[in-house]
Structures are given as structure tokens and as C-alpha cells.
Amino acid sequence: MSAKGHEQVDQLEKDIPTHQDVVDVEVAAPKYAANTQLDDAAKLLAEAGGHVEYTRAEGRRVLRKIDLYVCLPMCLVYFIQQMDKSSLSWSAVFSIQAEAHLVGVEYSWLSSCVYVAQLVCQPLSAYALIVFPVKYWVVFNYACWSIVTCCTAAAHNFASLLICRILLGAFEATILPSFILITQMWWIRREQSYRTIAYQIANSCAGLFGPLLSYAVGKAAQNSNTIKPYSGIFLFMGCISLGFLPIVWFLLPNSPTTAKFLRHGNDRLIAIDRLKDNNTGTKASKFKWDQFWETYRDPKTYMWAGMWFCAATPATSQSGGIGAFGGLITKGFGFNTFNTILMQMPLGAIGIIILLTAIYITNKIKLRWPVLAVLTLFPIAGAVALTQVPRDEPGALMAAYYITAFFTGIQPLLISWCNLSAGGTTKRVCTTGDMFAALTVGNVVGPQVYLAREAPKYFTGLYVDIACWCIEFILVVSMGFYLGRLNKRQEERRVAMGLPRDIKDMSIMSTVEAEAYKVELAAMMASAGLSIDQFNPASFDDMTDFE
């Protein structure tokens, strides 16, 4: 290589070829420019010579193992978590307010306090995800919140219910940040979206089966006269949760570097080598303050936080405003207890359909922001209709209520979008923590704007929801254009350095497409005086997207 070529390489940072609406980072990085703390996975790969050869069939076999041992327990945990958390909403249909003598805004606080606890516990959760094995941290919290759900059955007034809900929130605080980190540790970008959708679909399944189970348990408790209906619901959900605990413990691994199911042949090295195209590594077990401060110098951090807050305040599953009060709203349409419960079940089915459709379109057009922007328009329309349709038209009101269920596609797309631009373990965890903090604040605020004196219409809550979804639309479109601008700027930097302008993201391509593109990429690198070996040399260095 010429002296000029060496000078160019010395000043370059690593490249993370990215999704069209994910910010670009520059190309080749010399090893001495990398963070001195290498990623855990890089050590194993280095011991094997830095690369492992494997066939496409072997790669698919390892991926199937990963889906079984990692994705399945994640889906189970998310399903159970949503069942436990949503028990309050379902028990409201069986008059928990009257049975536990709740007055004023006390029911609202039983929803909000979960997220106050999660917000307070968020720094501990973020730190624990870096320094502790993720499996043990997840399973510990899972066991604790299951026990708390069982104990909620004994709560008989606001104070005791409040304590149980606060503890539930504290132990559930780590699950979403943990799952985002686990997803980044195990799957490449084109696979991440589908796995994120998988456990979000499990979330919707809880909305599909939970109401029916709750009705059966609540009705049985009513007929037996030995336990209050809401107590029976909490006890039943808690016991189901504990029943799945051994399965999750057996299946879920800590990381690709230690997973027992990867002991056969080169499976472990294949699982690690697959992730090189992500350029985000797996997990470094050291908290880095430089990455921490970089997170808060990044304008995107605050834009993501605004989007998550606006998505959470109206509705996040059964937890935000319209989510927590959905049962009470539909009961106000004139339905009895049984019909009210049944009317909640289609929400789960709608959620599944929306998630599958949204992720299919997203991966087809390779852009997230247009899909997100369109999704926000439907709940705006539905909520506006709920404020305008006469109360003597329950069919039209239910149609409007179901249209608002399109919000279920917003959060899963945000989860994958906001973290694709973050590299470095500490920065990824801090970014996720900030997003989750914004989500919890939104979930705290959401139920508070549903005023008891306005039941069952709750117009103030609906107007706040409409405002949040409108702001969400503006933020999503703004972020789409902002990331496009950043990517144009990076393209100009590459051209100025004599490098290819267009570098595509192989991590979102199919295996066949990626292999074909590598041939094209090798030619582009050669024309710039570089070899293909100098592409992504720092894939497992614990570097950030700024670096």
C-alpha cells in the first residue's frame, strides 16, 4: 500500500455498515486505535486464529439452537411478565376497587407505582447487566416477582396492594433492558427484528389468553365464596409464573462464550463469528465511563427518550393510560363483566397481526421510520373517535377502541431501531436504560390523567393520549430525516478519503445476498487500495458508534 494509503487507514475508525435509517460509522480501524478492553467473544475467537470456517448448513443449525435455547425462554418470560403485570387490569373488571376499598386516584397509583419502582431501580439494573451474568440476574428477578404476584392475593387494602405493586415493579425493571442486551449478544441485525417481534408477540398472547383465564378464575372464586375474585387472579397468575421458572433456568444461557448448548464441535466459534458483521460485539464485563459520557453527548439519546415517553404514556400493553383503563372503558360501554373480559381478547390478536405486518414491511423496505409514522396515525384516529362517538353506539365505540390497538406495533420497532446505532457495551446498556427510564415515566404519567371523576368516558386521558401520539409522529419523522442527514455526512467523509461512498449493511441481508455482496465489497475496497481483510477489523473491540 502507498504511504498515502497508510495515512488514510491510520486516521480512519471502524465501519458499521448500517440500515438506511441507522446512523453510519466509518470504515477500517487499526487495532491500536481500539479500546484496550477487548470484547469477551474476541478472546475466544483470537485463540482459534481469528476466524472459523463453516458451511451455510452449519450456520443454520447453530441458529436453530440459539432460537431454542435463547429465544424460547425469552418469549416465556415476557409472556409471564405481562400476565403478572396485567392482573391488576383484569381484576378491575371484578371490582377490585370496591373489594379493596380503593377510592379516588388509588387505583391509578397501583398502575403508576410499578413504574416509579422501575425508574428508581433502573441504574442498579443497568450496572448489574454489565457486571453480572445475565442469566442469573434475569432468573433471580423472575423468581422474585412471581413470589410477589402470589403474595398480592393476600393484599386487602390500598397500602398492602401498593407495597406488592412496588416490589413487582422493582423486580420487573430489568427484563426489557436485559432482553435488548441478550438480543444484541446472540443475533445479527436481520435476525434481531424478528426475535424482538417474537417476544413481543408472546406479550400479545398474554393479552389473548390472560383475560379468559382471569375470567375463569374470577368466576370460580365468586362461586366458591372462599377467596375474593381479584385474589384468585393474582394467586393463579403467580403460580403459573413459578411453574415455568425451571424451564427458563434450564434453557437460558449467559452468553455465547459460556453457553453449554454450544459445546459440540465448533458451534461456539460459529455463534461468535456470525456476529462480526454487527460490529457491536457481544458483551464486555467492564463499566466504561468514557462510553457513559458519550451517551449523553449524543443528541439521538434525547430524541429516542422523547419517542419512548410518548409511546408509553398512552399505552404500553396493559400498563399505560388506555392500557390500564381499557377494561373500565369498555365496561362503560354497557357490557357486563363476562362480555367486558371477552372484549379484551381481540386486542391480543390485533397486536399479533400488527406486529407481523409491521416487521414484514420494515424488512421489505429496509426503513423503520415510515412504518412507525403510519402506525401512530391509527391510534390517533381511534382515540379521537372514542371522544366523539355517542355512548349509545357500543359497536362503533368498540371499533374505535380496537383501532387504538395499533399502538402495539410502536414499541417493538422502537426497541430495535434505537439500539442499532449504539456500539459499545456500556453505551448500549446506558442507551437502553435511558429509553426504559423514559418508558417508565410515561407509564407513571399515563394512568394519572385518567381521572376517576370522569369515569367511564375519561376524556382528559384520551386527549392526553392523542397529544402524545401526535408528538410521537413528529419525533419519528424528524429522527428519520436526521439519521439520513448523518449518513450523507458520513458518505462525504468516505469519498474525501478515497473510499467507497456506498457501503451496505450485510447484517440485514440474507446469507445468499451477503455472500454475493462480499465479492462486490472486495472489489470496492481494492479500488481504494485496501484489502477485504481490513473491513471491520475491530468488530469485537468494545468500541462505540462515535469511535
pLDDT digits (tens, 9 = 90+) for 256-289: 888 889 888 788 888 887 776 655 554 455 667 7
Same domain for 381 and 246: yes
Same domain for 81 and 31: no
Per-residue pLDDT band at 183 (split at 50, 70, 90): confident
pLDDT reading at 441 higher than 80: yes
Same domain for 72 and 42: no
Same domain for 75 and 40: no
- The total of structural domains in the chain comes to 2
Per-residue model confidence as pLDDT tens digits over 354-403: 888 888 888 788 788 899 999 999 999 988 988 888 877 777 878 888 88
Residue 525 forms part of a structural domain: yes
Same domain for 60 and 47: no
Higher pLDDT pick, 49 / 294: 294
Residue 183 forms part of a structural domain: yes
Average pLDDT estimate for 506-518: 67
Same domain for 66 and 49: no
Same domain for 174 and 203: yes
Looking at residue 315, its pLDDT comes to: 62
- CATH number of the domain within which 413 lies: 1.20.1250.20
Per-residue model confidence as pLDDT tens digits over 488-510: 887 787 777 666 777 766 656 66
Residue 194 forms part of a structural domain: yes
Looking at residue 422, its pLDDT comes to: 64
Residue 545 forms part of a structural domain: no
Residue whose cell numbers read 421458572: 245
Average pLDDT estimate for 285-298: 76
Looking at residue 542, its pLDDT comes to: 61
Apex 341 CA angle, 336 and 344, nearest 5: 125
Query: Which of 16-25, 48-57, 433-442 is predicted with the least confidence, judged by mean pLDDT?
Result: 16-25
Domain containing 384: what range?
56-257+270-487
Length of the chain: 547
Looking at residue 248, its pLDDT comes to: 94
Residue 263 forms part of a structural domain: no
Most confident stretch, 150-164, 329-343, 456-470: 150-164
Residue 229 forms part of a structural domain: yes
Long-range contacts, stretch 460-467, CB < 8 angstroms, 24+ apart: 461/321, 461/322, 461/325, 462/322, 462/383, 462/386, 462/387, 463/387, 464/313, 464/314, 464/321, 465/313, 465/314, 465/315, 465/321, 465/322, 465/379, 465/383, 466/380, 466/383, 466/384
Same domain for 433 and 470: yes
Same domain for 181 and 83: yes
Helices and strands in the chain: count of H runs, count of E runs = 23, 0
Same domain for 445 and 509: no
Same domain for 81 and 45: no
Contact between residue 383 and residue 329 where contact means Cβ atoms under 8 Å apart = no
Residue 542 forms part of a structural domain: no
Same domain for 338 and 229: yes
pLDDT reading at 150 higher than 90: yes
